[in-house]
Structure 1
Amino acid sequence: MDSMDDKGITIDLSVQGMSCTACAARIEKTVGKMPGVEAVAVSYSARTAWVQYKPDQIQPLKIMEQIGKIGFKAALPEHAKEGFEKERSLLKLRLIISLILTAPLLTAMVQHLAPFAKIEMPSLLTNPWLQLGLATIIQFIIGLPFYIGAYHAVRSRATNMDVLVATGTSAAYLYSHYLVFNADRAALFAHEVPLYFETSAVVITAVLLGKFIEASVTSRAQSDASGYSKLLNTVVRVERAGVMMDIQTEFVRENDYVIVQAGQVIPVDGIIASGESEINESLLTGESVPLAKRPGDPVWAGTRNDSGALRIRTTAAGHSTMLSRIVDLVRQAQRSKSMIQRQVDTVSAWFVPAMLMLSLGTFVLWITVADPGNWTMAFRCAVAVVLAACPCALGLATPISLVVASSRLAKRGIVVKEAGALERLAQLDMLVLDKTGTLTEGKPRVSQVHTTFGSRQGLLRLAAAVEASSTHPLAIAVRAEAMQAGLVPPAATDFEYTTGKGVEAVVEQRKIGVGNASFAATKHWTFASASIRSFAEERQQLGETVLYTSDNNKVIGAISFIDAVKPYAKAAVTQLRKAGVTVIVATGDHPAPALNAAQIAGINPTQVHANMLPEDKLALVERLKEQDYKVGMAGDGWNDAPALAAADVGMAMGDGTDAALTAGHITLLQPRMTAIPEALLISRLTVRNVRQNLTFAFIYNALIIPFAACGLLQPWMAGTAMAFSSVSVVGNAIRLNARLRKAAVQPS
C-alpha cells in the first residue's frame, strides 16, 4: 500500500525467506543504500519491509528486485498472508520429509549413548551406506535453503543463522563422508568408527521444527495484531441520485450517502443523515457500552450498527478513515524498534562471526592443549560450538513481545505509535494531567448566568456570537445553552483569540469579549458591578469555572460552568499511585475548580497547578524531566500539544476524532481515565517479558556454548538445544498474550 509523505512515498512490502533478525538487518542495509530511498525498516517478526522513497528517482519494482538479488522475495502487501502461508506450508513439507528420513539415523545416535551401546540394531539401519544416502538427501535437498541463505549472506559480507547451520551440519556431514570412504572397512561396518550423519540430520530437522513452530505462533500473533483489517468492508451500498448501488469502498466519495442496515459494520466515517441506532464502538475504541446515535452524530468505519438502519453522509472512506489510520499506526509501532531492540541488533551483528572464531579457537585448543592429536574430539567440540550458538533467540526476544502488546493495546482503544514509547511508559514515575477533557468529562454545561446589564438571554446571545467559531469546550457549552434557549446569535467579525484565556470580536458595532480572570486583567476590563465578582467567587468555591463577558471593555456579566469529573477517575489515580506514579494536575482553569476536581479524583492539592498557559505546561514538563523524572503527559491533543511532544510519553486523550491521532506518542481513542493505568500495566508486563526473553537467551548462550566447547555436549544435542531456544523465547512472548487479556484495570 502506497501513501504520500512530505519526504516522499511510503510502501509496505511482504518479505519471504528471512531466517532470523540478521536477515532483516541485511535488507535494511542493502535497500537503504539505494539512490532515492529515504528510509527503510524491516520487521522479521512481521515479515514486512517499510520503505520511504522518492518516486522520481526509484520505483517499487526496483526495490523488490534488489531484495530478490540478496536472496529474499518481496511482494505487495495484499499477497503477504498468502506468501507467508505458502512459505509455512513449504517449511512443513520439508520438516515432514526430514523427520521421515532422520528416523532411521536415530539408531546410530542411540548407539552413541552409553546406556544403549549394547542394544543390537538391525544391520540395515546401521549400514554406513544407507546413512550416507539418507544424510545426503537431508543435507543437500532438504537443507538447500540453508546453503542459499548462507551464500547470499556471505556474498553481502554479512552472517546469519543460515551460516551457522550450514557450517556446523556441513562439517559433521563431510567428516562422516570422509570416514565412509577412507576408514578401515571392517572397523567401519563393526561400528568402531564414529560417524556423525545423524548429527547433521537431527540438527537440520530440529531447526526446521523450531522454525515451523516459530512461524505458526508468529502467524497467530500477526493474525491477532491485524484484527482491525477484519473491520474493513470492501463493498458498500451507496445512494446516488436516488439510485441504490453496491460499489467498492475505495470508490466511495466524500458526501456520498451510504446505507447501513442493522447488524452491519459501518464502512465509512461520516455523519448520520437519517435514522437512529445504537453503535457498538468496542472493536475500535475499547468502549464496551453501545452509544445511542441520532441524525447529526458522527460515526466511524469499523464500528457496528446494532439496531436501526442508518443513512450516513460520508466524510472519509477507504484509506482515509480513522480506522485505516489506526491500522497504519499499529503497523508503524510494530516495525519501529525500541532502545532494547537496537542494542540487541548491535550485539547480533557480531555474534555469528564471534561464534565462528570461537569454534575455530576451540578446535585449536583441543588439538594442541586439551587432547593433543585427538582430531575427532577437537572436531566434535568445534562443531558443537557452532551448532549451539543461537542469535535467533536474541533477535526474537523483543519484536514478538511488542507485536503482541501493541495489538492488545489497540483492541483496548490504546494506539501506540512507536515501540520506544511502550518502553518509556514502563519507566513512568510522574504523570501530568490536563483537567478539561482528561480528568473531567470535557463536556461542560452552563450552570448559572449572572448579568447586571440587560437579560440573561441577552448576555448569552452576545457570548454565543463571540464564541461562534471556537472549538473550546466552554465555547461549545455557551453555544449549546444559547441554542436551547432558542436564541439566534448575531454575526461577529474581527476575532482576536488569546490561547487559553479568551476571545474578543465586534458584534453589532460593539467590542464584545469573553474570557477568564487573567484575560480580563490583561485587557484591563472594568467591572460594571461588584456583584459580578461576588458571583464568580461563589461559583468558583463550588468548583465551577467562570468566564466574564465584557461590552466595550466593561464586564457586564459572568457565566459559570460545571464539568463533571470522569467516572472511575479516582480508581485510575489510585491504580497509578500504587504503581509508583505521582499524579499532577496542570490546567488553564482557575485554582478553585482545579482543586475541586483534584479532590474528587483523590489527587494531592499540593500537586495542582492552575492558570497555566500551554507554554507553562511545557515548562513544567521540562522542569520535571530535568529533575530526572520519567514524565508522562495526558491531554486533549490540542492546547497540550507542546507538552505532549516534550514529555517522555505523551498521551492524547481522544474523543473519537481524527485530530487526536496526530498528537502525542500514544492515543487513547476512548478518553477513559482507566486506560492510562491499563496502558502502564501492559507496558510493564511487556518490558518484563522482553527482559525474561533476553535473560534466557543470554543465559542459554552463556551456559550451552562453554559446555559444548568443553566436550560435554554431543553436536546433535547442541543443535537441538539451539533450535528450541528460539521456540522457548517465542512461546514466552505468546504467553504474554494471555496475561495481557487480564491486564484491564477494573474500576472500583
Structure 2
Amino acid sequence: MKEQYKIVGMTCATCAISVESYLKPQEGIIDVTVNYPNQTVLLEYDHSKVTLENIQQKIKEIGYTIVVGNTQDSQKIFKKLEENRLRSLKFKLIFSTLFSIPIFIMSMFLMGKIPYENWIMMVLSIPVIFVSGAEFYTIAWKKLKHFSANMDTLVALSTGIAFLFSVFNTVYPHYFISKGINPHVYFESAVIIITLILLGRFLEEKAKSKTSSAIKKLMSLTPKKVTAIRNGEEVIISYDEILKGELIILKPGDKVPVDGKVKKGNSFIDESMISGEPIPVKKIKGSKVFAGTINQKGALRILADKIGNDTLLSQIIKLVEQAQSSKPTIQKMADKIAGIFVPVVIGLSVLAFIIWYLLGPEPSSTYATLALITVLIIACPCALGLATPTALMVGIGKGAEQGILIKDAQSLETAYKIDTLILDKTGTITEGKPQVIDIIWDKNIVSTTLEKVVLTIESQSEHPIAEAIVQHLKKITTELIAIQSFQSITGLGTEATVNNKRYRIGNENLMLQNKINIPNTLQQKAKSLKLEAKTVVYISEQDSVVGIIAVADKVKETTISAIRKLQKLGIDIHMLTGDNEQTAKAIAQQVGIKHFQANVMPSEKGKFVEQLQKQGKIVAMAGDGINDSLALAQADVGIAMGSGTDIAMESAGITLMQSNLKLIVKAIQLSKATMKTIKQNLFWAFIYNLIAIPIAAGMLYPINGFLLNPMIAGAAMSMSSISVLANSLRLKNSTI
C-alpha cells in the first residue's frame, strides 16, 4: 500500500523528523515521507504485516493524529480538526496573555512594592502553565517516552523547571536564604516564554488555515438547482440529479451546470473561466458549452454530454487540488536546526549540572540546580522561534502599505528567488475588456449624423463589441434617432433602416455578402489594424462603407515599463493566453515578450508551469482569471491581479491591489529585504546562544568567580527576543 494522509498536530519541522524516525523502524513500514508545510505523510507499507489502524495507534503514542478516509471525507475531517486547533490556540493565547501581563508588570516594575507578590504571581502563573502551556508538557512527555525531542521539549523543560524552582522559592524561601543565596522567582520568564511561543504558533497556524479555498469557490460555479425537461415537462432538480443525455434549460444569467451541446436557442456565454477572454462567445444550435460558464441574455436548451466529475470544470478543480497539495515549500531555517539545537541544549544543561554537582563548591547540589535552570532559561528558543514570524509579519504589513497583499508567507519567502515569470494576457498585460481604439471615417463623409446613427443601431444590439461602441459614442453624443427597422444577423452584425436609408454595421463578411463597396483607403487601414490584433467593425450607408471602428483590449499603460524592469532583474518572461495566435503575437511584440503561446487551455497552463519547475526554474505566475487558477496554485509564487476573480486571488499567494505589473518588482524587492532580516535575526539568535550558554553553565566561575544569576538569564532571554523584534521592525523603514 502507498497512500498519502493528512496528519494533525505537527508544529515544527522536528515534528516531521520525529514522525519519520519513529515510524520507519516499525515492522511492515517500507517508507515514510512527511511533508511538514503540507501537513501530510506519504506511507508505503506491507498490508499483510501492519494495518493502518496499527500505524494510527503508533502515531498517537507520540502525540499526532493521522486522518484516514477517502479524499473528500479526510479533507473535511482534517479541516475540522485544524479549525478546532486554531480556535484552541487562540483561546490559549488570549488566556495566557491576560494572566502574563500582570505578572510581567509586577516582576519588572513593582518588585518589592506589593505584599505577598510571589504568592500572587504564583497563583496567576498556574493557569498559564496548566491550561495554556499544557500541550507543551504533554507532547514533551510523549517524546521523552520514545527518546525523542523537539522545540516543545525545550519549552517544557525551561518553563517547567523555572516554574517549579519559583514555586519552591515561594513556598520555602528559607532554604536558599540559609545558604546565603537570594531565592529569586522566575514566574514571569515561564509565562512570557509560553505566551511568546503561543503567539508565534498561532500566527503560523492562522497562515496555514488560510490555505486556498479556491477549490471551494470553483465548486460554487456549479448551480445548486437546474431546470430540466422530463416527460415533456419542466422540472427543477438538484445539480446532483442531472442525468447524462438530459435536456437542460438555461435562462439569462444562469450558470451552465454541465458540458454539453446547444439543441435550441441563441445566446452569448461568458467563457472567461476557460479561455480568459473577456468577450462572451456566441452560441447557436450545435455549439459546445462548458460547466461553470455563465449564460448572458438569451435562452438556451442544452443536451448534457458530461456531468459531475467528467466536466471540464471538475477536471480543473482536481488539477488545482493536486497542484496545491504538491506545491514545493521552504522549511524554515530555525525549524531545520531545531532538530540538532534541542538535544544539544538539553545535553549541555545536564552536563553543567553534573560538573557543578561533582566539582562545584558547597552547596554543590544548589549550584548544580541553578546552573541547569540558568542554561535552560537562557537557551529558550523564543528568539529563535520569533526570528522568522516577526520578520514575515512586518514584511507582510509593509507589502500591504504598498498595495501588495501577501496571503501566503511562503510566497514572500520565495519571491526573491524567482527566475521565470509567466503572464496571462487578458486582464494582466491588457485591460481585460474590449474598448474602441479609433473610429475612422471616409474623407468625404461628415461624421456628426453618422455617430448618432451608429449609437442608435448599436444600442439595439446585445453583442459585447456593440456595448463597447455604445460606451465610446456616448462620450460624443447621447442623441438617438428613430429606427424604422432593425435586424440582428448571427455571426455578421446588424442591419437597420434610419431616415429611409439602409445601414449595416458588422464584420467584413457582412459587407461582402451584400456587395458593399469598401473604399481603398479604408480597406488598407482595416488590414493594418487587423495585423495589430484589433477587431475591425465596418459601417456602411446604402451600398458603400463610410467608416470603420477599431476595437481592442488595450495594453495597460504600466505594462511595458514593468516588463523591462523585470527583464533587467534577469527574469525570463513568458506569455500564455487562450486567445488566437495573431493577437498573441501582436501583444507580445508590443510589450517586448519573446516567449509566448496562444490557444492555451487552463490545464495546459498548469502543465507548462510544471515543465519549467522540472527544469529547476523558480516560477511565478501572474493572472486574473479562473482559467489561471491551476497555474497560480502550481507556481512557486502565484500572483493575482486585484481586479481579477476571487478564485484567482484565492489560488495565489500574493494579490496586487492595483492591476499594475510594477508591483511584482516591488514584491521581489520586499522578499529580498524580508529574507535578509530573517537571516540577520537567526544569526543574532544563534550568536546569543553561542555566547550565553557557556556563561550560564558557569564557564567564567573558575576564572573570575562570576556566576550568572537565573534572574539575569531570564532578562537576557527577554532581551534577545526584543532585539529580534527590533531588527524586524527596521524592515518598516526599508525602501522597496
Q: Does residue 276 of the first structure (1) align with residue 263 of the second (2)?
A: no
Change (3 A) 1:308 1:427: same
Which of 35, 42, 55 is the matching residue for 2:35? 42
The corresponding residue for 1:464 is none
Q: Does residue 51 of the first structure (1) align with residue 42 of the second (2)?
A: yes
Distance in 2 of aligned mates of 1:88 and 1:586: 40
Match runs of 1:586-597 below 5 Å? none
Instruction: Tell me which amino acid in the other structure corresponds to 1:387.
Output: C
Contact 1:359 1:383 in 2 (8 A): yes
Which of 574, 591, 602 is the matching residue for 1:601? 591
Match runs of 1:207-356 below 5 Å? 207-208=194-195, 210-211=197-198, 214-215=201-202, 218-219=205-206, 222-223=209-210, 225-233=212-220, 236-238=224-226, 239=228, 241=230, 244-247=235-238, 249=240, 276=267, 279=270, 291=280, 294-295=283-284, 296=287, 298-301=289-292, 313=304, 315=306, 317-318=308-309, 322=313, 325-326=316-317, 329=320, 332-333=323-324, 336-338=327-329, 340-341=330-331, 345-356=335-346
Q: State the Cα distance separating 1:167 from its structure 2 match.
A: 0.8
Q: Does residue 383 of the first structure (1) align with residue 376 of the second (2)?
A: yes
CA deviation map 1:7-48 (0-9, x unaligned): 95544x251x3333322343355456674776644335x6x3
Q: State the Cα distance separating 1:148 from its structure 2 match.
A: 1.4
Match runs of 1:554-703 below 5 Å? 567-568=554-555, 572-579=559-566, 580-581=568-569, 600-602=590-592, 646=615, 648-649=617-618, 682=667, 685-686=670-671, 688-703=673-688
Q: State the Cα distance separating 1:163 from its structure 2 match.
A: 0.5
Structure 2 gap segments, 5+ residues each: 68-73, 399-403, 432-489, 493-526, 534-550, 577-581, 598-602, 649-658, 697-707
The corresponding residue for 1:184 is 174
Q: State the Cα distance separating 1:350 from its structure 2 match.
A: 0.9
Change (3 A) 1:685 1:393: same
Change (3 A) 1:365 1:311: farther
Distance in 2 of aligned mates of 1:398 and 1:573: 32
Distance in 2 of aligned mates of 1:404 and 1:261: 45
Distance in 1 of aligned mates of 2:125 and 2:115: 18
Distance in 1 of aligned mates of 2:619 and 2:134: 49
Contact 2:173 2:183 in 1 (8 A): no
Instruction: Tell me which amino acid in the other structure corresponds to 1:84.
Output: E
CA deviation map 1:400-421 (0-9, x unaligned): 999999xxxxx99x999x979x
Distance in 1 of aligned mates of 2:89 and 2:4: 31
SS state of the match for residue 51, structure 1?
strand
Contact 1:167 1:386 in 2 (8 A): no
Which of 133, 140, 144 is the matching residue for 2:134? 144
Change (3 A) 1:79 1:248: farther
Q: State the Cα distance separating 1:211 from its structure 2 match.
A: 1.9
Instruction: Tell me which amino acid in the other structure corresponds to 2:156.
Output: A
Distance in 2 of aligned mates of 1:95 and 1:577: 47
Distance in 1 of aligned mates of 2:560 and 2:99: 61
Q: Does residue 68 of the first structure (1) align with residue 60 of the second (2)?
A: yes
SS state of the match for residue 19, structure 1?
coil
Q: Does residue 173 of the first structure (1) align with residue 163 of the second (2)?
A: yes
Distance in 1 of aligned mates of 2:407 and 2:91: 38
SS state of the match for residue 122, structure 1?
coil
Q: State the Cα distance separating 1:320 from its structure 2 match.
A: 6.4
Instruction: Tell me which amino acid in the other structure corresponds to 1:236.
Output: K
Distance in 2 of aligned mates of 1:20 and 1:714: 29
CA deviation map 1:673-712 (0-9, x unaligned): x998776765664465344334334434434774575648
Which of 4, 12, 15 is the matching residue for 1:23? 15
Q: State the Cα distance separating 1:572 from its structure 2 match.
A: 4.0
Distance in 1 of aligned mates of 2:391 and 2:260: 39
The corresponding residue for 2:185 is 196
Contact 1:352 1:391 in 2 (8 A): no
Q: State the Cα distance separating 1:575 from its structure 2 match.
A: 1.7
Contact 1:385 1:705 in 2 (8 A): no
Contact 1:334 1:419 in 2 (8 A): no
The corresponding residue for 2:76 is 78
Give the root-mean-square deviation of aligned CA atoms.
Answer: 6.7
SS state of the match for residue 244, structure 1?
strand
CA deviation map 1:591-622 (0-9, x unaligned): x999987653346xxxx799x9xxxxxxxxxx
Contact 1:266 1:304 in 2 (8 A): yes
Change (3 A) 1:292 1:43: farther
CA deviation map 1:236-282 (0-9, x unaligned): 32436356354364x6565556666666666656666656356485x
The corresponding residue for 1:90 is 88
The corresponding residue for 2:149 is 159
Q: State the Cα distance separating 1:150 from its structure 2 match.
A: 0.7
Contact 2:320 2:629 in 1 (8 A): no
CA deviation map 1:453-472 (0-9, x unaligned): xxxxxxxxxxxxxxxxxxxx
Q: State the Cα distance separating 1:70 from its structure 2 match.
A: 1.9
The corresponding residue for 1:465 is none
The corresponding residue for 2:446 is none
SS state of the match for residue 82, structure 2?
helix
Q: State the Cα distance separating 1:147 from its structure 2 match.
A: 1.7
Distance in 2 of aligned mates of 1:320 and 1:131: 63
Distance in 1 of aligned mates of 2:315 and 2:674: 29
CA deviation map 1:424-478 (0-9, x unaligned): 774456779999xx9999xxxxxxxxxxxxxxxxxxxxxxxxxxxxxxxxxxxxx
Distance in 1 of aligned mates of 2:299 and 2:349: 70
CA deviation map 1:644-693 (0-9, x unaligned): 85462568999977998699857999999x99877676566446534433
Change (3 A) 1:310 1:218: farther
SS state of the match for residue 306, structure 2?
strand
Q: State the Cα distance separating 1:348 from its structure 2 match.
A: 2.7
Distance in 2 of aligned mates of 1:717 and 1:212: 19
SS state of the match for residue 40, structure 2?
strand
Distance in 1 of aligned mates of 2:309 and 2:266: 23
Contact 2:632 2:639 in 1 (8 A): no
Change (3 A) 1:698 1:656: same
Distance in 2 of aligned mates of 1:330 and 1:727: 36
SS state of the match for residue 224, structure 2?
strand
CA deviation map 1:95-154 (0-9, x unaligned): 5655666677568x53xx5x74552x234x444xx7666656654565332221112223
Contact 1:348 1:395 in 2 (8 A): no
Distance in 1 of aligned mates of 2:337 and 2:565: 36
Instruction: Tell me which amino acid in the other structure corresponds to 2:343.
Output: P
Change (3 A) 1:72 1:440: closer
Distance in 2 of aligned mates of 1:726 and 1:268: 55
The corresponding residue for 2:651 is none
Contact 1:228 1:323 in 2 (8 A): no
Distance in 2 of aligned mates of 1:210 and 1:319: 47
Q: State the Cα distance separating 1:164 from its structure 2 match.
A: 0.9
Change (3 A) 1:725 1:297: farther
SS state of the match for residue 562, structure 2?
helix
Q: Percent identity?
A: 18
Distance in 2 of aligned mates of 1:139 and 1:731: 30
Instruction: Tell me which amino acid in the other structure corresponds to 1:82.
Output: K
